[in-house]
Amino acid sequence: MKHRRETLIMIMALLCGFVGGITSNARPSTAQPVPTKIPYIQTGRLELLDPSGKVRIRLAISPENGAAGVVLYDSTHSNARIIVQAYPDGTSNIQLQDENGQRRASLDYLTQGAVRLALVNSSLSGGTVLGTNNSPLLTLSDHSDKVRAAFGLNSSDSPNLQLLDGAGSVLWSAPTTANPNSQP
């Protein structure tokens, strides 16, 4: 009798399971489809956040001048530290800024293929500029942003060095030039 009762309970449990499965509207489980690769993403601005939710990198197009740019911020997001921009006219630059948001160094690609590296001193006046246009030139400026020394190649590819006073007059030049106020 005991064996018959256990068999009856097992048959009832099996039938209840079938009835419950049929009436539950459950669909059979299927494997999730493999995500397809996205060929591209289009957006007006892309921001990467650090774990605290602060923007650390921004990729965007400037609504003011149409420049495509990448901005890297410091950990406080209070200042942009590195700015890379490519302008619609074909020029571009990379700026390094200090903790106060002031440009301290820049590498610029200018019109007609000229390239310039500018380094600004901590007082934000004066510094060094190395550039090329038709010929290479290195200039050193004082705290009043006046060029005080220039070294480069002149139009005939000869080296030229000039030391200037605060008014821009040549103090010394090598080789000596016919026009003392002409820079290399």
Q: Does 181 have pLDDT greater than 50?
A: no
- In angstroms, the CA 74 to CA 81 distance is 6
**118-126: average pLDDT:** 85
**45-63: average pLDDT:** 91
- Residue 160's pLDDT band (cuts 50, 70, 90): very high
Q: Does 180 have pLDDT greater than 50?
A: no
Per-residue pLDDT reduced to its tens digit, 92-115: 999 999 888 889 999 999 988 889
**151-172: average pLDDT:** 91
Q: Before 175, cis peptide (omega within 30)?
A: yes
Instruction: Give yes or no: residues 51 and 82 share one domain.
Output: yes
**Is the alpha carbon torsion for 46, 48, 52, 54 positive or negative?**
negative
Q: Does 150 have pLDDT greater than 90?
A: yes
The structure tokens listed for 61 are 């197009």
Examine the fold and report which residue of 64, 96, 128 is the final residue of a domain before the chain moves on: 96
Number of domains the chain contains? 2
Say how many residues make up the chain. Answer: 184
Residue 26 counted as domain residue = no
Q: Which domain holds residue 74?
A: 43-96
Q: pTM above 0.85?
A: no
pLDDT of residue 183: 52
Q: What's the mean pLDDT when you consider all of the chain? A: 83
